[in-house]
Amino acid sequence: MCKQPMSDHETVVKRYYEELFNEGVLDVAEEILTDDVQYHGPRSVTPGTLESPSQVKAFVKRYHGAFPDIDYHVESVFRSGDQVAVRWTSEGTHTEDLFGIEGQGEEFTGTGLNVFEFEDGKIAEVWSYWDTLGMVRELGLVAPMGLASKK
């Protein structure tokens, strides 16, 4: 079976995960994000909405401080026009404080979905949805709830 070549949008998304998030190369933000990029993340473990490459860079830097070995894996990519959806997994070790959650050296794996909107070849908007409850459970911050017993 012949694989289709990656589109320009998919190449930018690959740089978003590999260079910006996995490697922590912050300067790549100006190359792949619009000046008025909008990042919408879950408010439970992110600051919520970010509105510039510098805010995204600060968020990535903070995440790298808390999870220095963070590693994202792109599992699936779907494209429709100027939108790209990515299903991903991640893994890392929580070593430092993150939004009030103290690092204890716990490892975690996570799953999520990001939807990217593009303008002029750059990421203009990101909607990030991921299993934040699963993450805090793995980090030992929330106990799993048992199933209610039948009576």
> Three-class SS string for 22-60?
HCCCCCHHHHHEEEEEEEECCCCCCCCEECCHHHHHHHH
For residue 28, the one-letter residue type is V
State the chain's mean pLDDT as an integer.
85
Whole-prediction pTM: 0.84
Tallying the residues shown for the chain, one arrives at: 151
Check residues 48 and 70 and name the one with the higher pLDDT. 70
Check whether 13 has a pLDDT greater than 50.
yes
For tokens 């103290």, what's the residue? 102
Q: At 26, is the pLDDT very low, low, confident or very high (cuts 50, 70, 90)?
A: very high
Lookup: tokens for 120: 């002029």
User: Which tens digits make up the pLDDT trace of 75-115?
Assistant: 999 999 999 999 999 999 989 877 677 888 888 888 999 99
